[in-house]
Chains A and B, each alone.
Chain A
């Protein structure tokens, strides 16, 4: 089943066509990677999907539903979560609160319950906290619940952002350059984490990444972008062999 279907998407900034008539789809359950040189338009694609930018043209469907104009916060409720290329955590909030933010953003209890501290409030808060601890544990952050996000190490912050995204309990998770600034050992761990997310929570994953070994290791399919255009799409094997890709992008790294 197509979980995401992007049709003829287009977005320009001034004279720059950041995304130029791109169509692709993502199958439920797969790991789909987007690669391409800097400025190719990958992050812009994520921003379009999550409604942070409005496309100039084209449509986006999420499980048969047209989400081209759906506001960002609604998308989170529909089941699309994301992380950001340069991490956007709630720096002054604790690790626990960061994860709770997405868990509690669902319909849990209303204003009246909050002010009057009804039973419903207590129950929902407790349930959310228990769940949050599970996510925190899953990403190896237990013990750090009460640390502020900004006090974590870089790698921990990356994992916390994944935890926060995953705790919206999405069906599709968009991950923007999770491996940036990581050493080979951390990259290997990251690959395991991503595989584990997919298995345990049966989430479809779309990932933007420059680290080729990571991409080739985890992806089912890969889309290659350059200058806002889609160059090709295929399995890791096909991408590795494709001349255009090697020319445009992979050249040095694959040798």
Chain B
């Protein structure tokens, strides 16, 4: 295979991973928009999605489209409860307290689910609902898994777009994101919008969890940590709080990661992502699409 074909092939693989990151990054960015909080537990919702899907497929043999719907519902409920139980009481507390709480929620989910009585800390093979097939497209190969990921991501993004730009809830969410006080003065129920944001973000993370597990079929209760952090970095790269920024950021991070593994060494994969983070924070903290923010 010639070099161009190889690069293209890795590009496709990168987009596959990036699509998942994009789905997770959306949740980070939306929650940051309304709460100014890095929801550390978001990566664990992604993990939860993978496990719910695992049980639905392995234990109940439910058809795939239902798996998506039920998993999204389950994640939505989890996201909703986390916000109501852990974050809401801290609405007026210092930012760091909220952040520490988020870290606490994340640890709790991981270690609670890793108990032997529950999911155990071990890796579990994820049952793919179908066999992997590759389609040779002259220069590169694309698998049915990749096609599924692209299609589902595309549908999710399209629905999200409709939700955010075409419904009152979405408009209200953007208003809160832009200026909470003014939004409250205009009669928008802030609590409702925050819940709404968590529900939407968690559902997307759930979808991400299923897709990721189909692509890399080994799941584990700690699987959400690194994709979670990387997706957050993607959100920062795109400009935190900016919806399309999260998508572009996710794709870039996914492609970078795959390229580093392919052309350098998978050892440095995570390192490079963090170097990107430092680069962004240093040179353009507001991200690719963000506007400059002034202090005071």
Contacts and interface: CB of A to CB of B under 8 A. Distances in A.
A–B direct contact (CB < 8 Å): yes
A47 B296 CA distance: 9
A196 interface: no
Interface of B: 291, 294-296
7 contacts: A13-B294, A14-B291, A47-B296, A52-B295, A52-B296, A53-B294, A53-B296
Nearest to A88: B296
Contacts of B295: 52
Contacts of A14: 291
Nearest to B296: A52
A14 B294 CA distance: 11
A92 to B, nearest CB: 12
A38 to B, nearest CB: 16
Interface of A: 13-14, 47, 52-53
Contacts of B294: 13, 53
Contacts of B291: 14
Nearest to A53: B294
Contacts of A52: 295-296
B55 to A, nearest CB: 49
B293 to A, nearest CB: 11
A53 B291 CA distance: 16
Contacts of A53: 294, 296
3 closest A-B pairs by CB: A52-B296, A47-B296, A53-B294
Contacts of A13: 294
Nearest to A52: B296
Nearest to B295: A52
A14 B290 CA distance: 13
A52 B291 CA distance: 18
A52 B294 CA distance: 9
A47 B294 CA distance: 11
A86 to B, nearest CB: 11
A232 B295 CA distance: 30
Nearest to A44: B296
Contacts of B296: 47, 52-53
A13 B296 CA distance: 13
A52 B296 CA distance: 7
A53 B292 CA distance: 12
Contacts of A47: 296
A188 to B, nearest CB: 31
Nearest to A14: B291
B57 to A, nearest CB: 50
A135 B296 CA distance: 27
A47 B291 CA distance: 20
A53 B294 CA distance: 8
B101 to A, nearest CB: 22
A202 B296 CA distance: 30
Nearest to B291: A14
A53 B296 CA distance: 8
B232 to A, nearest CB: 27
A184 to B, nearest CB: 31
A14 B291 CA distance: 9
Nearest to A84: B296
Nearest to B294: A53
A106 to B, nearest CB: 24
A58 B294 CA distance: 19
A13 B294 CA distance: 9
A14 B292 CA distance: 10
A13 B291 CA distance: 11
B185 to A, nearest CB: 17
A174 to B, nearest CB: 14
A168 B236 CA distance: 39
B179 to A, nearest CB: 13
B7 to A, nearest CB: 40
A52 B295 CA distance: 8
A136 to B, nearest CB: 28
A53 B295 CA distance: 8
B204 to A, nearest CB: 30
